[in-house]
Amino acid sequence: MLYCGRFLNALTLGEETAKSLGFDVVRMRLILVLGVAASVGAAVSVAGNIGFIGLVVPHLVRPFVAYEPRRLLLASGLVGAILLLIADIAVQSLSTATEMKLGVITSLVGAPFFLLLILKSRNTLQ
């Protein structure tokens, strides 16, 4: 997927522009879909279903990488790992008699973030 960084940058300008820059859009999309599916499948099989990490982190990181998709891939992976580590430490620290799930902590971060994101985008559309 890191190989597709230049294609992602070109795709932000539109499919026609990406084609005119020499990218085979259909082939590159297939590579990306297969790569994402394999990565997500492997991660979920090892760690289980943990929500909101992959949804929240790219939105948090995007301003720090100058909105460039190629740089966003690696930065999202690193920040996602850090956020997951912080959530896991919180679960271990706050653990009571009943075990708290990691997804609960990530949803406590993710749900308000997306609510704020929706309200922010709603205000800019009006």
pLDDT at 105: 85
pTM over 0.85: no
Q: Given a cut of 90, is residue 21 above it in pLDDT?
A: yes
Between 16-20, 41-45, 60-64, the lowest mean confidence (pLDDT) is in: 41-45
From start to end of the chain, where are the E strands?
none
Q: Which residues contact 32 (CB under 8 A, 6 or more apart)?
A: 1, 4, 7, 8
From start to end of 79-123, where are the E strands?
none
Domain boundaries, the chain: 1-48, 49-126
What's the pLDDT band for 31 if we cut at 50, 70, 90? very high
Q: Given a cut of 70, is residue 125 above it in pLDDT?
A: no
The CA distance from 52 to 74, in Å, is: 18
Q: Given a cut of 80, is residue 115 above it in pLDDT?
A: yes
pLDDT at 97: 65
- How long is the chain? 126
